[in-house]
Amino acid sequence: MAHTSIVIIGAGIMGQGLAEAIATEGTEVTLIDRTTKLAEKGVKGISESIDREIERWGLTKSDKKAILSRVFPSSDISEAEDAEIVLEAIPEDLKLKRVLFERLDKICKPDAVMITNTATLSISEIGATTERPEKIIGMHFLNPVTKIPLVEIVRGLKTSDVTFEKAVQFADLLGKKWITVHESPGYVTTRIIVPLLNEAMHVLMEGVATAEDIDNAMKLGFGFNVGPLTLADMMGLDVVMSWMENLLGELSEHKYNPCPLLRKLVRAGHLGVKTGRGFFEYDAEGNKIEGSGMATGLAKAGM
């Protein structure tokens, strides 16, 4: 396989979205995961995402063929050795990310920009595992990457101006509007949205209103495009809970303590859209099933 100038480590939902966004802009990208099967599963996910856009008349079959031709699945991390940009999109676990960046430090060429897509973790702490912390930067893309126009560019304590400018150029390549964030737990978007999601879950758990009415109240009352409980389902309830736990550990503020209802759903494997059930239920295509929202968190979750 020919090396590409952009490499993504992690072929999950975020990795798929990043690869699709990059390939859609006409740039080749290598998508790496632990096994070739997982990487190919990531490409399949991209294919399915494009199919949904074709159904909405957003893309054509020719577009799909061109986009997929620019995505190269692999299980060989050495593919990163010639890359100009390496993006990490693995699970939100500091230990895992530090181990990965320590390994990438030995593989990547000296002038490569190494980007973490973390939503809550310290860029400085991740970069400290390398001999080049000035080359480490955070770019927090939101899901779905191909549709959300924002990216937070997060500077660690030692991130250089040159690295920051390269991150800006990359954001511009993808057509994203970017904001500068000076490292702080949760940055801007995650730190603000997490307490809102958590409070919506408490309102549901306490039986104040149904899941559907809570979401409608926030959509109609405050102009939200998506209600908070639906949004949490879309993000993945396990992911949302990991954000809360990371912020709770960093800031020691009770507002980040995951709602007991959220904990119960995650433990039961009801993770939202990706498992077909969370605060609402979803069909095989990920569409919400009408009338499926929890009447109260206590009743439908078995609490």
pLDDT tens, residue by residue, 270-281: 999 999 999 999
Q: Residue 301 above 80 pLDDT? A: no
Predicted TM-score (pTM) of this structure:
0.87
pLDDT tens readout for residues 25-37: 999 999 999 999 9
> Residue 302's pLDDT band (boundaries 50, 70, 90)?
very low
Predicted pLDDT at 185: 87
Mean pLDDT, rounded, for 142-151: 92
Q: Residue 20 above 80 pLDDT? A: yes
**196 and 172 housed in the same domain:** no
Mean pLDDT, rounded, for 133-158: 94
Provide the residue range defining the domain that includes 211. Answer: 192-300
Mean pLDDT, rounded, for 146-160: 95
Q: Does 1 map to a domain?
A: no
Q: Residue 303 above 80 pLDDT? A: no
Placement of tokens 């099967």 in the chain: 37
Q: Does 163 map to a domain?
A: yes
How far apart CA 154 and CA 138 sit, in angstroms, is 5
**153 and 10 housed in the same domain:** yes
Specify the amino acid at residue 204. L
Phi-psi region of 6 (alpha: psi -120 to 50; beta: other; left: phi over 0): beta
Q: Phi first, then psi: give them for residue 65, nearest 5 degrees.
A: -60, -40
- What are the helix and strand counts (H, E) for the chain? 12, 8
**169 and 209 housed in the same domain:** no
**131 and 276 housed in the same domain:** no
Among 117, 147, 182, give the residue marking a domain's end: 182
Predicted pLDDT at 74: 96
Q: Residue 129 above 50 pLDDT? A: yes
Q: Does 187 map to a domain?
A: no
Among 148, 182, 216, give the residue marking a domain's end: 182
Predicted pLDDT at 286: 83
Predicted pLDDT at 180: 95
How far apart CA 138 and CA 172 sit, in angstroms, is 15
**136 and 200 housed in the same domain:** no
**171 and 265 housed in the same domain:** no
- Of all residues in the chain, the percent with pLDDT exceeding 70 is 96
**174 and 237 housed in the same domain:** no
Find the CATH number of the domain harbouring 218.
1.10.1040.10
The closest alpha carbon to 33, from 108, 84, 110, 91, belongs to 91
Q: Does 211 map to a domain?
A: yes
Predicted pLDDT at 3: 54
pLDDT tens readout for residues 181-201: 988 888 999 999 999 999 999
**76 and 212 housed in the same domain:** no
The closest alpha carbon to 110, from 137, 88, 86, 135, belongs to 135
Q: Does 242 map to a domain?
A: yes
Predicted pLDDT at 188: 94
**211 and 252 housed in the same domain:** yes
Find the CATH number of the domain harbouring 71.
3.40.50.720
Q: Per the structure, how many domains does the chain have? A: 2
Q: Tell how far CA 184 is from the center of its chain.
A: 18
> Residue 284's pLDDT band (boundaries 50, 70, 90)?
confident
Q: Does 97 map to a domain?
A: yes
**226 and 177 housed in the same domain:** no
Among 150, 182, 214, give the residue marking a domain's end: 182
Q: Residue 299 above 80 pLDDT? A: no
Paired sense of beta strands 136-141 and 150-155, if any: antiparallel
**174 and 257 housed in the same domain:** no
Q: Which of 90-104, 133-147, 280-294 has the lowest mean pLDDT?
A: 280-294
**140 and 24 housed in the same domain:** yes
pLDDT tens readout for residues 46-100: 999 999 899 888 889 999 999 999 999 999 999 999 999 999 999 989 999 999 9
